[in-house]
Structure 1
Amino acid sequence: MAFTSLVGALNPIALHLGPIEVHWYGVIITTGVFIALWLSIREARRRQINPDDLYDFLLWALPVALISARIYYVVFQWSYYQHHLDQIIAIWDGGIAIYGSLIGAIIVVILFTRWRKIPTFLFLDVLAPTVIMAQGIGRWGNFMNQEAFGKITTLAHLQALHLPQFIITQMDIGGVYRTPTFLYESVWDIAGFVFLLATRHIKGLYLRGEVFFIYVAWYAFGRFFVEGMRTDSLMLGPARVSQWLSVVLFIGAWVWLIIRRRQHNVPSYLSGMTVTKK
């Protein structure tokens, strides 16, 4: 749920189209998706993947990712939604989980690549850097909604971080200043995007699938610490769901990378579709 500052908060509504309110959250998320698509298409061509496959994939992945993100959120907030069943579909009021969307999107990737006979890990490698970039952009939607924040802090602390004034003002939520955890995760995600973009074309560095699993490990590592600072975590008993999932994903990614390196005849990422082995 979004909170409104007592004074100075940015308007979460970008514009009105008659009775329809267009939220900045949706504008920002959509912008991130289209930038990710554009960059992925450029890379897909280099790896001999038909750009039309990216367009077709997106038509399936976006609705599934949105639905799975909402289902994930509702499941872990069932104590509330079991008494408010009419609000389960009220996604416009907030309440989606990035891990839920990623789970849904990966399921679509597996099914789609099998259908189109595209190496699944190669497809994931092409998408991974732009996905983490889109995640970093998307966190600014949380900023506009004044959500995904951390514990109460002070104006002096925020000023000591040398943040722009508009961020400090937006972190005045409910009359108190909050830790800008959205910003920490956004910076971490964009750093991961830059790292993957700078390294994935180094000859001989990545085997097929490794770009994707480096993305998984990178994102999970940062999300674990950011989640620990948030005050709106989805909980399973006393445990923060996203923290435990981050631990599982981080360890799983590195185990897979070690196993992958011990396998024989695994094609390199740069070989693209010229090698069909998955």
Structure 2
Amino acid sequence: MKLFPNFHTLVSIGGFNIRYYAVCILLGALFAYQLGRYRFKKLGYAPNILSDYFFGVMVTGIIGARIWYVIFMWKELYASHPEDIIAIWHGGLAIQGGLFTGLIYSVYYFKKHQIDFFVAGDAIMPGVLIAQACGRWGNFFNQEAFGGEVSLSFLKGLHLPSFIVNHMYIEGAYHHPTFLYESVGNVILFLLIILVVKRISKKNGIQFFSYFVGYGIVRFFVEGMRTDSLMLGSLRMAQIISLIFIVCGIAGILYIHFKREDKQVDE
């Protein structure tokens, strides 16, 4: 067994490697699960409701994220090597695809258990932001999802730790640490939702829709800096989806605020 055999790997046991990418994703998912479980408990629901949900949404989310990535990278990566489709440890999870399949599963699951979808969404979605923030560090260790070229002085001007600066030297140049921009943006958004939005409105669904507005804004601007965007013609697919998230999120907030009458649930 070898600990820290290289920058990408936490531990190597024979021919089996545990990569930081997987560790970051799992740690983020665990945080989202524990926070959601805590919030569900405060709402008076049995803990096993979220325990059962967690496994299903993880599996469907990862499958959706992988399918989304493979679809848009088929010609470049997988048409000639379809066996690599299952190699998710090398990276290649598009979070927006995972959100779509995760939402579909969530609607099914909470309807089955007769739980208001917006109540569940408010309890779960803020934690998803932390899961995404952790996942972006997985991109860092895989040296992917980086931005355009910048100078060394630019990175030093951001007062980043040297290990980040050094490992943003990729393919012969320094690059924007877009993984870090999005990670920090998601953490700030998480704090805004649970500390500000939650206090402003107690209506069920406001926190859920605020996630889509905030994440859409963060992702739209960060995506514009990246060099590896999934493309739809000349358009960055993630920016298109981000705009859809923003519009749907604003529409949802307006609907909840002005139209939907429900019992307000306080945590």
Q: Which bin holds the TM-score, normalised by the shorter protein? A: over 0.9
Shift of residue 206, structure 1, vs aligned partner: 3.0
In terms of mean alpha carbon deviation, does 253-262 or 212-221 score higher? 253-262
Shift of residue 200, structure 1, vs aligned partner: 5.2
Q: Which residue matches 1:125?
A: 122
- Residue number among 18, 24, 27 corresponding to 1:28 in the alignment: 24
Q: Which residue matches 1:174?
A: 171
The letter for the 2-side match of 1:118 is I
CA deviation profile, 1:28-67 (whole Å, cap 9, x unmatched): 1111111111111111111122211111001111111111
- 1:234-273 to 2 correspondence within 5 Å? 234-270=230-266
Q: Which residue matches 1:225?
A: 221
In terms of mean alpha carbon deviation, does 247-256 or 216-225 score higher? 247-256
Task: Give me the whole-angstrom Cα distance separating, in 1, the residues matched to 2:250 and 2:263.
Answer: 19
1:207 aligns with 2:224: no
1:183 aligns with 2:152: no
Which segments of structure 1 move beyond 3 Å, counting only runs of 4 or more? none
User: CA distance change for structure 1 residues 269 and 227 in 2, over 3 Å: closer, same or farther?
Assistant: farther
Task: Give me the whole-angstrom Cα distance separating, in 2, the residues matched to 1:92 and 1:66.
Answer: 12
Contact 2:204 2:256 in 1 (8 A): no
Task: Give me the whole-angstrom Cα distance separating, in 2, the residues matched to 1:201 and 1:249.
Answer: 20
1:87 aligns with 2:84: yes
Q: Which runs of 5+ in 2 are unaligned?
A: 1-5
The letter for the 1-side match of 2:196 is T
Task: Give me the whole-angstrom Cα distance separating, in 2, the residues matched to 1:167 and 1:231.
Answer: 18
Shift of residue 140, structure 1, vs aligned partner: 0.7
SS at match of 1:14: strand
Task: Give me the whole-angstrom Cα distance separating, in 2, the residues matched to 1:205 and 1:183.
Answer: 30
The letter for the 2-side match of 1:95 is G
The letter for the 2-side match of 1:140 is W
Q: Which residue matches 1:70?
A: 66
Contact 2:28 2:134 in 1 (8 A): yes
Shift of residue 264, structure 1, vs aligned partner: 4.8
Task: Give me the whole-angstrom Cα distance separating, in 2, the residues matched to 1:206 and 1:181.
Answer: 34
Shift of residue 226, structure 1, vs aligned partner: 0.2
The letter for the 1-side match of 2:247 is I
Contact 2:66 2:94 in 1 (8 A): yes
Task: Give me the whole-angstrom Cα distance separating, in 2, the residues matched to 1:264 and 1:136.
Answer: 31
Task: Give me the whole-angstrom Cα distance separating, in 1, the residues matched to 2:194 and 2:127.
Answer: 9
Shift of residue 201, structure 1, vs aligned partner: 4.7
CA deviation profile, 1:134-193 (whole Å, cap 9, x unmatched): 111111111111111000111011011111111100101122101100000000000011
Task: Give me the whole-angstrom Cα distance separating, in 2, the residues matched to 1:264 and 1:174.
Answer: 52
1:104 aligns with 2:101: yes
Q: Which runs of 5+ in 1 are unaligned?
A: 1-9, 273-278
Contact 1:209 1:269 in 2 (8 A): no
1:192 aligns with 2:192: no
More relative contact order in 1 or in 2 (CA 8 Å, sep 6+)? 1
Task: Give me the whole-angstrom Cα distance separating, in 1, the residues matched to 2:258 and 2:158.
Answer: 44
SS at match of 1:253: helix
1:57 aligns with 2:53: yes
TM-score normalised per structure 1: 0.90
